[in-house]
Structure 1
Amino acid sequence: MMKLFAKHTLALVISAICAPALANTVNDSDKKDTDKEYYERIQILGHDDQLRTESGSATLIDEQTLEKFKFDDINRVLYSVPGVNIREEDGFGLRPNIGFRGATPERSKKITVMEDGVLIGPAPYSAPAAYYFPMMNKMTSLEVFKGPSAIKYGPNTVAGALNMTTRHVPRSSEGSLDLAAGTDGYLKAKAYYGNTKGKLGYLIEGVHLQSDGFKVLDGGGNTGFDKNDIMVKFNYDLSNNHYSQLVELKLSYADELSDETYLGLTDEDFATAPNRRYAASQLDKMDWQHQQIQFTHFIGTESFDITTRLYRNQFDRSWFKFNGFKGGLVDADVQEVIANPTDEKHQGFYRLLTGEADSQKEYEKIIVGDNYREYYSQGIQSELYADYQLSGLTHEFNIGVRFHQDQIKRFHTEDSFLMQSSKLISDGNDTVATTTNIEETDAISIFLKDKISWHQLDVTLGIRGEFIDANYQNKAVGKANDWLDKQTNIWLPSLSVFYKANESAGFFFGVHEGFIPTSPKEDPAVDVESSVNYELGARYRSNGTQFEAVYFYNDIKNLKESCSFSAAASCGDNLDAEFNSGKATVYGIEFTAGHTFTINSTFDLPVSLVYTNTQSEFDTSFTSDFPMWGIIEEGDPLPYQPENQLTLSMGLAANNWDINLVARYVDEMMEASGEAVTLAGEATEAYSILDISASYDLGKLGSVYLKIDNILDEQEVISRRPYGARPSKPQQAYFGYQYNF
């Protein structure tokens, strides 16, 4: 495998070295804009008003849209993208659960998440559950790729990829200050400044976000969060009359302290007070730090360009949370207690959760665990674009190679507490180590794409290779023989076609093979997830009107899920274990339409509509220990897949002010597919949310804005995992001031 890596890396290095020589044939007048070229490789989709001709589903949310709605929450942003399925959790989007086209949304582990074109998950191969997610406030655009367009972004290719773009280094002096305050102790402070002096450019940007939270803890206490992010960029232009060349260094640090919990409510308590939090969760706290360094080199001519990125991400977290009851002579599964709190054997444990009773017996002690973990993700990737003519056909060739390493170290512990007068008091016993292990992966990825153009027809052939060496070692005392080394090698083909009927309309079709690897610790008997995914669509754009309609069909050969704590805390000894279900099918329709109405010379009225219909079913009957499945009959739907989702956006814009409204509807979602699964309810409720934002331009004095999320103040159950009913965010309002300089 290393020989293969060396071979392809050498080819790219040779190309980079030869680039200056090859560029000698380029005239001065042909030299392109270095910044523009470089940022086109960071952000893949363009902003122009022409018909997009990529052969596959792709959505761009640009800086103007992000600024218009002032969203802090990635979930609220992605509801305007078709084909996205989300399981909300904390109401703020601190740890999002995102899926595309029916892929399990749990911790966004089945999509490929990137920042500036680089994998950003804590350990994308070894532990893909994204307990870290970048702050939306520092992003200037988002790109969502589904279908064959996502084949170049791995390792996960069954669903798609999300790329988030941070601010570019400006060409001239540019900065902004953004301050806001609102309900529930909401505060935001965001600022950036950048400039380019000669060939050297720089940017510094910082964000602080905090809230007291909207939940009310029994007995009092914090339920909010405090987040910080600071980023610095430096770039230097090495271009000359023969070629464009730029190097950039990006450094960032982020942290979060949030008083969040996995403990929800019984359905009865939710109906009475949806924002209540039980006393047993009073010690729950997430504390994490993230550091990033990324070095990028770009070199290009009129015929080709190469972008190389060297990166490292470090993520450390302590997740101190309610884990359950000590049990022993009498065991109490928390999910069962919450599902049936009035049952005779559950009543006492329910009163312990709420702090109404004191711990008397050993089995009534409350266990609080600290899932402390250390992650790193690092690597080098290089990507070549080249245009050439062959046999009368135009080819756009794209090849990339990446060597990636990541690791997760788990140091999980548990402490036992007594519930006394609604307070958790340590029982004085020593901390108990529960999990001490390491999972790590070395991976080589290669992709090749050739877009062949002939008149109005574009045919794109692609293939992706993943070559994975994974290692697991149990570091607990007496577990030296508990280890595993394994390899996974796979090639994934893709084909897509785009036909441009005229300057305004086109049609596309695509098929590609999807893949998700197993974790390093998982027995080789558990199969990787694989699928064959199809899409057929049409696209139109003209005179301020645009629409896209896509039919997708995912033929899943082998569905794989993992028993994480956030998905189902009742996993017991199967925590982090992976399960296979066999065949499944997900299909549906995605539709996007938009038009800007010009009312008069002063007013514009932009309107957009996004609709997704998703159908899913298991193609085989089986029985599983995975708590989201249970006893499955052929034809049962997959969990957390809303059948219908609809987002309507409307705005009214004048010269110095604008008002924007977003209405969102999400269908009910099954929380478990089969029988014999313990939950308080079988499905979440369908719900509608209305958000509004408005801004007024004060000219040289800056601008002011008002943002109200959930203006109707409606709350529903958005999930009952892992421990009971969780509410959507209630009404939140804040007022802000922004000054650009």
Structure 2
Amino acid sequence: MTKYPRMNKSLLALAVAIALPSAYAQDNDQDDIEHIQIISHYDKLRTEAGSATLLTEEKLGEYEYDDIHRVLSSVPGVNIREEDGYGLRPNIGFRGVTPERSKKITIMEDGVLIGPAPYSAPAAYYFPQTTRMTAVEVFKGPAAIKHGPQTIAGALNLVTRQVPEFTEGAIDVAAGGDGYTKAHGYYGSVVNNIGFLIEAVNVQADGFKELDGGGDTGFDKNDILAKFNYRLKQGNFEHTFGLKLSYADEISDETYLGLTEADFAENPYRRYAATAPANMDTQHQQVMFTHNVSGENLNLTTRIYRNDYERAWLKLNSISGKSPQEVLYNLESDNNQRLYEILKGEQDSIVPGATDFLTMGTNDREYFSQGIQFDGDITLNVFDLEHDVSFGVRFHEDEIERKHFEESYDMKSGVSTLVEGSKRFTTLNVENTKAWSLYVEDQIKFDALTIGVGVRGELMDMHYHDNNNPNKWQDKTTRIWLPGVSGFYQLSDDAGILFGVHRGFSPASPAQPAEIEIEKSTNYEFGGRYNDGVTQFEVVSFFNDYSNLKESCGQSNCGDINQQDAEFNGGAAHVYGLEAQFSQRYPLNLQLDIPYGFVYTYTKGEFKNERYTKFAQWGKVRSGDPLPYLPDHQVSFNIGLSSDNWRTSLAVKYVSSMEEASGSSWDIGTDEFTLYLEGQEVPASTTVDFSASYDFDKYGQVYLKVDNLLDEDKIVSRRPYGARPGKPRQFTIGYKYQF
């Protein structure tokens, strides 16, 4: 198989045929090319069914977050597992799905799938740089029926900066604690009807963890974006042609190894000497061509895209053949105590009578994803009823090639040193998926009632082969149709109720055996919203009924090298909850306003069957056992004080405790399973962030922000190997200048 196959001629012909229609369309601004749906009607009641949240550029700039975890803290129904404190590898879930590597939500940039291999290997080890986004859109429930392949929880769309209509640019520089710096700038203009935009970002930090023996524990990320567009008016139709080119890379000194409970209590920011060589090295490139045609009552957008991603992550896999979790959670053993001392660099790995090498594994992977995507929207009047019909089709192909290898390291005098000639390959395989996706949804208006009826189809052909064994291969075909019905009834100019039901699914990867089922659920929601132009309020209840809950073992959540990438059936499960959000702006006088709001999420997830599993987060589960890493309660409260040229903001986020594991250890005859972290919880936490800014008008803006103002030392996770902290208090001061 060619490493990076090109689109064949028939696909290019189809692209051209789709990209150049001379069709009807409705007046539509350029934002619609990147935005999935404009839902920012702050001054009037939104009448679409389904749950949708838009975070605007103004909202994103309020706290100047680089971490998508913190950005989404103001969105109801989002469940998160923190990992490195900086959000380098986000773990995001919606409505109770596992947050692990954001693999159960559909992630897009400018309306296009952006994960490295969304079908074949959906774990999102690449995530776009949040700093350069001008909007973030979140869709849940029936609102997400247009987006897949992950359709149980919802979709996240990240919107990049538009090509400006006039010459403009900006710079944004900042510096803060732990060696943090940010340099961000863009410039755009229009020359002879051709618009262009160049944007670049560098974000880096030395890291807040203290490595035994010294050394950086931070990261260095670069992101470069170039956009070009050309607008053409032909009769009643307006065409916009766009080209987007982007490049991103990252070097980060990150590890999966955490601390024992005792070491965390003494110094939560310590890092053991054995992790000194750990390093993540990534590169990402994207090319996308876009064409939009708009006219009186129809809008058509075509996207042709190609993403390439490479990553190599060197990290500790084992010591003397044992998983680090087996060592850290069983220090009563004399041998484990010795291995623990080696991890800390307090003993040498080679002494008379004992040789205990550290095994460092490099998960070297190459990905590509490419496709042609066509989306349209038409407004019709049939039998005196107004129909707003959305439709789309996409051909997508993605692939992951794994080239994993391990090397031995020797701990000597507190320094972990490579043993020359110890390299050995472990996993060598390829997974590939070709998928056709299509959807159609009709929003029909009956006076005050709008009913949406739609269906999504996912037609997938998957292939797996083991490069170590040419006789080990597998082909899989999946055809699934996912209907949905939603509605909104407008009670008054300011209030209405919404409801919906839809089928959701999550595909199994190409390498999994036939007994691993796809994840399927039937999802319900009911709620209402209110907006009188001053006060906005929305409350939505949801219930997801899983016929089969599925989970996979990755090193980030499982830690068992022998089960890497294996998937497990969890059977029937229920997830239900409530999402509420309220916002208001109170004027103190003609010069001062107090904007404030809160977001509350209640989520309960539980198994509805009994089964024995060897998955590291489940073990033996019984009906009623809770799902791991899912807090019952989350509350965010934001309050500010703003004037014409200055503002201050305070954000408080509370997250209740979360189970580390669902079930229990078990023993059946000769078959047994030890569930580490059985009965353990991630403790509840409260995080306070503060920001302030002063605008000097034509001389720019100065801003100050403090993340984790109260400097809370919190355990954010014990997976896969020991307790790990969130980011400590960090002061940052920055300057922005626009022209």
TM-score norm. by structure 1 comes to 0.95
Report the CA distance between 1:131 and its aligned residue. Answer: 0.4
Listed as ranges, the matches of 1:332-347 within 5 Å are 332-347=322-337
The AA in structure 1 aligned to 2:711 is D
The AA in structure 1 aligned to 2:161 is R
1:290-335 deviations in whole A, cap 9, x for unaligned? 00111000011111111000000000011011111133xxxx3321
- 1:55/1:363 CA distance change after superposition, 3 Å: farther
Question: In the aligned structure 1, how far is the partner of 2:90 from the partner of 2:21?
Answer: 44
Report the CA distance between 1:699 and its aligned residue. Answer: 1.6
The AA in structure 2 aligned to 1:702 is G
Listed as ranges, the matches of 1:454-603 within 5 Å are 454-476=446-468, 479-570=469-560, 572-603=561-592
State which of 647, 655, 669 in structure 2 corresponds to 1:658: 647
Report the CA distance between 1:425 and its aligned residue. Answer: 1.9
Report the CA distance between 1:130 and its aligned residue. Answer: 0.4
State which of 353, 374, 379 in structure 2 corresponds to 1:382: 374
1:686-720 deviations in whole A, cap 9, x for unaligned? 00000000000112111100010001101111100
Give the structure 1 partner of residue 27 of structure 2. 32
- 1:12/1:215 CA distance change after superposition, 3 Å: closer
Report the CA distance between 1:426 and its aligned residue. Answer: 2.4
The reply to whether residue 103 of structure 1 matches residue 106 of structure 2 is no
The AA in structure 2 aligned to 1:280 is A
- 1:6/1:623 CA distance change after superposition, 3 Å: farther
- 1:33/1:60 CA distance change after superposition, 3 Å: closer
Give the structure 2 partner of residue 706 of structure 1. 704
Q: Is the 8 A contact 2:49 2:452 kept in 1?
A: yes
Aligned sequence identity (%) = 51
Q: Is the 8 A contact 1:596 1:606 kept in 2?
A: yes
**SS of alignment partner, residue 67 of structure 1:** helix
Give the structure 2 partner of residue 427 of structure 1. 419
The AA in structure 2 aligned to 1:547 is F
Give the structure 1 partner of residue 306 of structure 2. 312
Question: In the aligned structure 2, how far is the partner of 1:164 from the partner of 1:661?
Answer: 24
Unaligned runs of 5+ in 1: 24-30
Question: In the aligned structure 1, how far is the partner of 2:449 from the partner of 2:282?
Answer: 49
Question: In the aligned structure 2, how far is the partner of 1:208 from the partner of 1:52?
Answer: 37
State which of 48, 55, 61 in structure 2 corresponds to 1:54: 48
1:385-441 deviations in whole A, cap 9, x for unaligned? 111111111001111000000000000000011110111122333300001110010
Q: Is the 8 A contact 1:326 1:362 kept in 2?
A: no
Question: In the aligned structure 2, how far is the partner of 1:87 from the partner of 1:12?
Answer: 39
State which of 193, 199, 203 in structure 1 corresponds to 2:197: 203
Question: In the aligned structure 1, how far is the partner of 2:232 from the partner of 2:169?
Answer: 25
State which of 131, 134, 146 in structure 1 corresponds to 2:128: 134
Aligned pairs, number: 721
The reply to whether residue 626 of structure 1 matches residue 606 of structure 2 is no
Give the structure 1 partner of residue 441 of structure 2. 449
**SS of alignment partner, residue 492 of structure 2:** coil
Question: In the aligned structure 2, how far is the partner of 1:333 from the partner of 1:388?
Answer: 61
Unaligned runs of 5+ in 2: 1-7, 666-674
Give the structure 2 partner of residue 229 of structure 1. 223
The AA in structure 2 aligned to 1:503 is D
Question: In the aligned structure 2, how far is the partner of 1:280 from the partner of 1:17?
Answer: 57
Q: Is the 8 A contact 1:19 1:300 kept in 2?
A: no
Report the CA distance between 1:454 and its aligned residue. Answer: 1.2
Report the CA distance between 1:680 and its aligned residue. Answer: 8.2
Give the structure 1 partner of residue 4 of structure 2. none
State which of 285, 295, 303 in structure 2 corresponds to 1:301: 295
**SS of alignment partner, residue 480 of structure 1:** strand
Question: In the aligned structure 1, how far is the partner of 2:712 from the partner of 2:32?
Answer: 46
The reply to whether residue 113 of structure 1 matches residue 107 of structure 2 is yes
- 1:11/1:256 CA distance change after superposition, 3 Å: closer
Give the structure 1 partner of residue 398 of structure 2. 406
- 1:712/1:602 CA distance change after superposition, 3 Å: same
Q: Is the 8 A contact 1:314 1:375 kept in 2?
A: yes
Question: In the aligned structure 1, how far is the partner of 2:346 from the partner of 2:19?
Answer: 69
Listed as ranges, the matches of 1:359-370 within 5 Å are 359-360=349-350, 364-370=356-362
Give the structure 2 partner of residue 27 of structure 1. none
Question: In the aligned structure 2, how far is the partner of 1:521 from the partner of 1:563?
Answer: 13
Listed as ranges, the matches of 1:36-185 within 5 Å are 38=33, 42-185=36-179
Give the structure 1 partner of residue 251 of structure 2. 257
Question: In the aligned structure 2, how far is the partner of 1:132 from the partner of 1:36?
Answer: 25
Report the CA distance between 1:14 and its aligned residue. Answer: 7.0
- 1:527/1:14 CA distance change after superposition, 3 Å: same
Question: In the aligned structure 2, how far is the partner of 1:698 from the partner of 1:499?
Answer: 46
Report the CA distance between 1:53 and its aligned residue. Answer: 1.1
Write out the 4+ residue segments of structure 1 that deviate beyond 3 Å after TM superposition.
5-18, 31-34, 36-39, 41-44
Give the structure 2 partner of residue 688 of structure 1. 686
Give the root-mean-square deviation of aligned CA atoms: 1.9
Listed as ranges, the matches of 1:4-23 within 5 Å are 19-20=22-23
TM-score norm. by structure 2 comes to 0.95
Q: Is the 8 A contact 2:19 2:291 kept in 1?
A: no
